[in-house]
Amino acid sequence: MVCGSVAKAAMVISTYPDKKSASKAARGAVKSGLAACVNISRISSVYSWKGKIEEGSEYLAIFKTTQGRKARLKQEIGSSHPYDLPEIAEIGMGEVDRQYMRWIEESTA
Amino acid sequence: MVCGSVAKAAMVISTYPDKKSASKAARGAVKSGLAACVNISRISSVYSWKGKIEEGSEYLAIFKTTQGRKARLKQEIGSSHPYDLPEIAEIGMGEVDRQYMRWIEESTA
Amino acid sequence: MVCGSVAKAAMVISTYPDKKSASKAARGAVKSGLAACVNISRISSVYSWKGKIEEGSEYLAIFKTTQGRKARLKQEIGSSHPYDLPEIAEIGMGEVDRQYMRWIEESTA
């Protein structure tokens, strides 16, 4: 039976210029117990910068942690980020499988 | 005119070790009317397992269904998953285009 | 210090048949100030269409804008979309880094 626990989990996203910096941030967050796991995927980003439309390759990192740890995680992402103005945003989460939630809590205890 | 309907839709995510198992889960969920569609993307995951930081290739599956079907969908994902401890988590959704929402409802009726 | 602002940001997703149409929609939304940035990623989609299970390559576009702009953005996505029945759905967002939020607001002013 899959039972859920109301969102004690938190999901924080950020984007990185390359795989190396995204992996480095992910490893740092997991090693320091600020995130249980991080999913990294390659994306193409379109944005305007100084009046010009830019399109370039980036890496999206999805950090999974607890509501209790998210503030420290976001500070760590911000202070170690290669961008001057990084995206650090929370995605709303609903129910998370109870077993998996326990793993997230143990990994970030 | 694009009109939305307040979130009757539900989005459930899970990760799989390879494309084959992700596609199998997606086809099973769509065939049994538990999901209207599933988006699968390749990711790299960083996590700690038995005290070691691991980084490996996985596949993220995003299942789209209705609030009414999500419990059964999550049970199906859990019971047929190749992992012992799968991630099964809901992403919070806001407004969904009314036409598209009707298609989700018809596909999972 | 990373401070957040309660979700004035909005995230809208849609899927496209190819990279070209996804990029075109992204550039149009950014150029017209309806989105600050758009992340595009390649996905494989499984869905049922006229009674058959289909699996095909698509592109997921994640548009980031403000709560104030999202209605016009969704109209633009819908009116210029290559599909007759496009997915146009909002993802729930939580706190967004204040500096980044200001950039989203300036980009969509």
Q: Which residue in chain A is spatially nearest to B50 when comparing CA positions?
A: A107
pLDDT at residue C7 is higher than 80: no
CB pairs < 8 Å spanning B and C: 87
Residue C73 CB-half CA count within 13 A: 33
Name the one residue in this structure whose structure tokens are 């012992």: B84
* Model confidence band, residue B33 (pLDDT cutoffs 50, 70, 90): very high
**Which helix (DSSP H) or strand (DSSP E) does residue B75 occupy?**
helix B70-79
Contacts of C41 in chain A (CB under 8 A): 41-44, 60
* Model confidence band, residue B51 (pLDDT cutoffs 50, 70, 90): confident
pLDDT tens, A1-22? 445 555 599 999 999 999 999 9
Full set of structural domains in chain A with CATH: 4-107 (3.30.70.120)
Answer whether C38 sits within 8 Å of A60, measured CB to CB: no
Contacts of A103 in chain B (CB under 8 A): 85
Min Cα distance A108 → chain B (Å) is: 10
ipTM of the complex: 0.93
Nearest-CA neighbor of C107 among C59, C60, C68? C68
Is C64 in contact with C11 (CB distance < 8 Å)? yes
pLDDT tens, C84-104? 999 999 999 999 999 999 999
pLDDT tens, C18-32? 999 999 999 999 999
Question: Pairing relation of β-strands C52-66 and C89-91?
Answer: unpaired
pLDDT at residue B55 is higher than 70: yes
Min Cα distance A102 → chain C (Å) is: 22
Angle between helices C70-79 and C19-31 (to 10 degrees): 140
Interface of C with A (CB under 8 A): 1-2, 4, 7, 9, 11, 19, 23, 26-27, 30-31, 36-41, 64, 91-97, 99-100, 103, 107
pLDDT tens, A43-82? 999 999 888 999 999 999 999 999 999 999 999 999 999 9
The burial class, CB within 10 Å (0-12 / 13-18 / 19+), for C86 is: buried
* Model confidence band, residue B2 (pLDDT cutoffs 50, 70, 90): very low
**Nearest CB to A88; choose among C7, C64, C100:** C100
* Model confidence band, residue B42 (pLDDT cutoffs 50, 70, 90): very high
Nearest-CA neighbor of B55 among A27, A108, A43, A41? A27
Q: Which residue in chain C is spatially nearest to A49 when comparing CA positions?
A: C107
The stretch C4-18 carries a mean pLDDT of 86
Answer whether B85 sits within 8 Å of A99, measured CB to CB: yes
Contacts of C8 in chain B (CB under 8 A): none
Answer whether A4 sits within 8 Å of B43, measured CB to CB: no
Residue bearing the bigger pLDDT, B51 or C80: C80
Name the one residue in this structure whose structure tokens are 């698509």: C58
Answer whether A86 sits within 8 Å of C97, measured CB to CB: yes
